[in-house]
Amino acid sequence: MTGEKVKVSTAEGYDELDLAHATLEIDGKRRILPILVSRNIDRVLKGVITLESMQLLVNPMTGKLEEHAALLYLTVQSKRYRWRADALLHQRR
C-alpha cells in the first residue's frame, strides 16, 4: 500500500480505497498497474484503465475480453486558450 487513499463513486455512494501497485496478468499479458483495494468488495473488478493498458476491451455482445489497438489522444490548444493562459501567468508575476 502507498498510504494514499483514492475517492471512488459506487452504486452505494462514495468510498475511499487504498492505492497500491500489483503485477497483473490477463491472457498472457503482464503489467505492473495501480490497483485500488477495498475492504468491502470480495472479488476482483477490472476497470477501464487496467483493460486499456493491456490493450483489451469487453465485447458487449459476448461479455468476453478482446484485443484492440491502444488509443492515443492529442489535445490541441487554440490561440485563444494560449492567450488566456499567458495572461494568467503574467498576472501572477
Q: Is the whole model's pTM more than 0.75, yes or no?
A: no
Q: What is the pLDDT of residues 26-77, one digit of tens each?
A: 888 899 999 888 888 888 888 888 888 888 989 999 999 999 887 666 666 6
CA distance linking residue 47 with residue 39, whole number of Å: 17
Cβ contacts of 44-53, under 8 Å, gap ≥ 24: 50/24
pLDDT of residue 64: 92
The alpha carbon dihedral of 47, 53, 54, 56 has a sign of positive
CA distance linking residue 11 with residue 38, whole number of Å: 14
Longest dimension (CA), the chain: 57
CA distance linking residue 26 with residue 12, whole number of Å: 28
| Three-state secondary-structure class, residue 57 | strand
β-partners of residue 44 are none
